[in-house]
Structures are given as structure tokens and as C-alpha cells.
Amino acid sequence: MRPWNAFNAAEAEIRAMVEDPRWQELPDHTRAHAIAARTLVTRDGDRWLFGAHARWHLHDPADGRWHPAPPPRRVRARQVGHSAAALPEPVVPRGPDFAAEPGSTQAFVGPDVPRRLCEQISEVLRANCRKSELDYPLAAFDDIFAADVPSTVAAIWGTIMWCAYAPAFDGNERLITMFGEFLRRSLPGDEWVRWLPAPPLSGLVTLVAERQRAGHPRTSLRLAALIADTAHLLLSDTRFRPRALALLTMVEPALRKPGLDDEAAARGDEELRAAWLRRCPPRLARAVMVETDPEAHLAHTVYDLVEALAYTPDPPRAAAAYLADLSDSKGKLPPRLDHRLRHAYEELLRAGLTSTAAGEHTEPEGFPVRPAASYSDQYPHTGSFSGPLPAPGGPDTRTGGFTGPNKLSTGHISGTTSDGTGEGRLGLPGIALLDQRGGFTHVRDEAGTGLMPPDRDSTAAVLGAAYAVGLAWQRITGARVPERGFAGSAALVRRLITERDDPCGPT
């Protein structure tokens, strides 16, 4: 029997209240009072409440804000209450937000996409990839696909990438390699991992709206149906499911009622995007927060990161070490963090271990290309591994990376190697320094990241959460996302590259 815990007890009590159908009928002030009365305080004076989106919130004594933050589960707390009038409206749960799909923070490095899902997506791709590019022009995603590729291929790709929580894939992932023949250029990344950009919803909207404005409503409807079909298949994987559900609620009404979006599309892409987002129900609000409220989305991805690091002695300090990889020369990040994270991050900042010198903006066309040597300079402290890197099967000097028992080769996606010479080489950032120094420096080791996740799934969860934070930060600031991944995320790959995915796993 698990020992009584104040956080677990308060969470259970508030869940029971909010999930009661009568909750939504209560006046705002009554709901606020019910939540505020169940505020907890820990011995160090931190105040916590379980609120909107079924997540814990931490009160910042410096400015009075409440930040989404996982609580310290092994710390004693007592119920003290809080002023309901001082409780911000966004912190109080409405009701539907407690029904959100939990999803998964795992990246697609380590645990693969199930074979059956890949086969289903491949069937859809084969059935639609030979359409005429004149009938289906590439109105979006033209930085990824060749000019003669029809927009049907872009619609499938864009749906997969938009629905992915953290689109980082190992190089031989079947879900990605099937697109290799259509690419304009090699995907970003190194021999093992593709750190892919997260496309905005506007890309999918543009594909549909452009055909409608060009006077081809049936073609526009077919593209919307293809987006819905792809999203429906993605529901089977929890790493896609929340956003796939949201996308279906946005697109399917127009399929059931042709002409529903004609006027919005005629007024422009942004009008159609707004129409889609209005159809997303409140229970899926967090899934589309990346589109509707990028600041809140960043806060929730940071929450996910701290939660994924729960195995460490001090998750906030461990999370700060990953946040230190973000480009922030203007100091915009610390004010967005709760005081625990902020203090841990500022320790790294004072020690010179944050990436404030990185470029602040991505290149305007295509994927940024950066020399491999620059990563060791930019990220001098990148991981907690020590000892020489195992290279199962030995390096392969052809394009395609490593062979042998290590499954993470690149298939036909990797057109070039990391140094552009055609020679297979290790492309992880800062790898030489890692081998020389035997792991993290003292400061980062103290931050908690020196403790590796206990298994492959938890490693993939941390990797995905850390990469999702970087993508959320890019969405707000335009800061560069390194094409070989952020230092902390990339370092975790070394935990995964020697572990083959289980061929007998879920299909």
C-alpha cells in the first residue's frame, strides 16, 4: 500500500470535483474558491495547486505568477489555502481541459513506430504519390520536396510532422525513409538521428486553400481527405494521438459538409486556419496550444521535461541543464521559468554553460547547414557518457552511416555525411570533448544530468521532451534549432545507438 501523500490526495480530490458534470455549471468565483482552498505549501514555502489542464502549478513569490510545474512527490506538504481573488483565471480548470489525451513525450529514437502503422502510411503514400504536380502543385513544403513532387506527398508528410510531439527520428525509421525519393535534399541530422523541424498548421492549410482559390474545389477536398486519412492512421501511436485527434476534429467537418470552408479559404490562408482551430473542442486545447498560445505551449513542454526527469534527485536542476542548450543571448528565457528552474538556470549562466552565443534566427531558405566542428565550440559540455563510443559493425565509408548490428543506419535519406566529404564519421556534437573529459563537467553533473535514464523508453522520453522544448522556444523567438539536435538531447542518443529496437515489439 502506497503511503499517503498530500499531492496525490489533493490531485484526486480536485479531479473528482472537476470531472463531475456539475462543475461546468458553477460560477467562476465558486470554481476559483474550490481550487484555491486546496492549495498546498511545502516546508521551503513553495505554494502548489492542481489546476487547469490537470496539471500542477507553482506560485512564484517574485511576481505572483503561477507556472505549470510538476510537484516534488517525495516532499511533505500541508493544505493552507490561497486567496481565490488572487487566483488568475487561466489557472482554474474549466472541466473539458481535464479530459485531454495524455499522449507521450517519446521521440522516435529508440522505440520505433509500430510496423503496422508504417505499412499503412506507406500504402497511402504509394496510392497518392503519382498524382500530377499540375493538378496538385506544391503550394507548401517546397523547401523539403523536389519541384515535381505533388502536394499529396506533402500533405501526408506535413500531417505526420505536425502530429508528432517531437519529430526526432533515427535515420532508418521506416516512417521517414519511405519519403526519401521525393526529397529536395538530404534531411537535417547526422548518421543516426534526423532532428526535423515542426511545421506550423498553416502549411497544411495552404495546401487545401490554394486549390480552393484556384477553382479546384474537388482537388482541395481530396487533399483535406488525405490529411484526415493520415491523421486517422496516426491515432494508434500515443506520440501522435493528441494532435492527430485535434487535426481530425478540424478537418472532418469540411469533409462531411463540402463547401463549409469555401468562404474562409477565399479570404486567405489565415482565415481558413482560424476556422479550423475554432472547430477544435476545449478537451483538445492543449494539443493545439502550439498554434493558439505558443507561450503556454513552451511552459507545458518545460513541464513535460521536468516530469520526464523525475528519476533524478533534483528534476528542476536536471531540466535547467537541458534548457541551457537554448539560444538566449537576449535573456528572454529566465523570466519565463518558475523560480526553482530560474535559479538553477542562472547558476549555469553564471558558470558560462548556456548557449547564449548561438545564432538567433534560422536561415530563410531550406535547412541550415553548419560545419560539424562548430558544435564542439558551441556545446563544450554535452553529455554524461564516459569511455569510448562503441561502433558496432565498424564505420561504413559509404553514405548511409553505420552498418552491422546497429539498426540506426540512414537508408536512402542520408545523401551526405556530416563533414561533406563522403566519409562516414561520427557527427554527435561535442563528441571529441566528451571522450577527452569522460562526461559532463562538474557543474552539469551536479545539475543532475549525470544520472542517465534507467531504460530505453525513459531515455527516449527525456530526449523527446528536451527537443520539444527547443522547438517551442524556436516558435517564440526564432532561435536556431541545431540540425544535429541540441547538445543534451544529442548526448542521449549515445545511450540508444547500441540498443536495437525489438523486432518482436508491438505491431
CA 80 to chain centre: 35
For the chain, the residue count is 507
Q: Are 387 and 396 in contact (CB under 8 A)?
A: no
pLDDT at residue 428, rounded to an integer: 26
The span from the first CA to the last CA of the chain, in angstroms, equals 35
Q: Residue with C-alpha cell 511533505? A: 76
pLDDT at residue 74, rounded to an integer: 81
pLDDT at residue 2, rounded to an integer: 54
CA torsion sign for 198, 466, 484, 415 is: negative
pTM of the model: 0.82
**C-alpha cell at position 266:** 477565399
Distance CA 497, CA 409 (A): 10
**C-alpha cell at position 497:** 545507438
Give strand pairing partners of 168: 195
Residue 272 DSSP SS3: helix
Give me the DSSP letters along 202-217: HHHHHHHHHHHHTT-H
Domain residue limits, the chain: 6-94, 115-292, 294-389+426-496
Give strand pairing partners of 79: 40
Distance CA 232, CA 256 (A): 15
pLDDT at residue 388, rounded to an integer: 30
Distance CA 163, CA 275 (A): 19
Query: Torsion-angle region of residue 400: left (phi > 0), alpha (psi -120 to 50) or beta?
Result: left
pLDDT < 50 positions in the chain:
1, 357-449, 502-507
pLDDT at residue 396, rounded to an integer: 32
**C-alpha cell at position 204:** 497544411
Per residue, the 3-state secondary structure of 414-455, as one string, reads CCCCCCCCCCCCCCCCCHHHHHHHCCCCHHHHHHHHCCCCCC
Read off the pLDDT of residues 5-45 as tens digits, 9 standing for 90 and up.
899 999 999 999 999 999 999 999 999 999 999 999 999 99
CA 342 to chain centre: 21
Distance CA 312, CA 308 (A): 9
Tell me what percent of the chain is helix, strand and coil, each rounded to the nearest 5.
45, 5, 45
Distance CA 83, CA 33 (A): 8
- Nearest to 350, CA basis, from 324, 372, 327: 324
pLDDT at residue 78, rounded to an integer: 92
Q: Residue with C-alpha cell 481573488? A: 85
Q: Are 478 and 311 in contact (CB under 8 A)?
A: no
Give me the DSSP letters along 452-489: --SSHHHHHHHHHHHHHHHHHHHHHH-----TT--HHH
pLDDT at residue 501, rounded to an integer: 57
CA 293 to chain centre: 15
Q: How far is CA 28 from CA 55, 85, 95, 96, in A?
A: 19, 11, 12, 15
Q: For residue 63, how many other CB atoms are within 10 A of its CB? A: 8
CA 382 to chain centre: 20
pLDDT at residue 53, rounded to an integer: 96
